[in-house]
Amino acid sequence: MFDAVSKRTLWVSEQPGSSTRLKLALNSWAFALTHGLAESLGLAKGLGIDPALVVDVVTGGPMDSGYFQGKAAAILADNYAASFSIGNAVKDAQLVVDAIELAHVRLDLAQAGLTRFERALAAGHGDKDMAASYLVSTHQE
């Protein structure tokens, strides 16, 4: 059944909850990528540089990825149709922060990312794609 609806099926563990814990780790990575891109483009704009130049420099290099290209294209087009909303990102980022506490590890970006998503939510972007975290790095708030 999973093969019919997914790109790949991965057996994680016999231990209950392992897949959920893996999902939290992967969400943490997706959030870091999203915020990193949003902040890089926001910094470029703030410095008077066309954010599209950041994307141009990264394209085809070792930091490029389909995820980068998709989120960058959305930001540059000011198209925040949700594939994963800010509202959902706040909920899942809080789960990541809670998991960090339970795991007794120190991970600084997760809390900062949650705070950024919360700012975007408070600014009225809750139904927009999580790439709309870009909007809280500009004067568009």
Return mean pLDDT, the chain: 91
Judge whether residue 91 has pLDDT over 70. yes
Range of the domain at 35: 18-137
pLDDT tens column, 112-139: 999 999 999 999 999 999 999 999 986 5
Residue 87: CATH number of its domain: 1.10.1040.10
| Residue 131 DSSP symbol | G
Q: Are 86 and 126 in contact (CB under 8 A)?
A: yes
What DSSP state is assigned to residue 87? Answer: H
Q: What's the pLDDT at 3?
A: 62
Residue at 7 is within a domain: no
Residue 126 lies in a domain: yes
Number of domains in the chain: 1
Domain-located, residue 12 = no
pLDDT tier, 15 (very low <50, low <70, confident <90, very high otherwise): confident
Q: What per-residue confidence (pLDDT) applies to 137? A: 86
* pLDDT more than 90, % of the chain: 81
Domain assignment of residue 10, yes or no: no
Is there a domain that residue 4 lies in?
no
Residue 8 within a domain? no
Which tens digits make up the pLDDT trace of 96-112?
Answer: 999 999 999 999 999 99
CB-side neighbour CA atoms (13 Å) of 42: 17
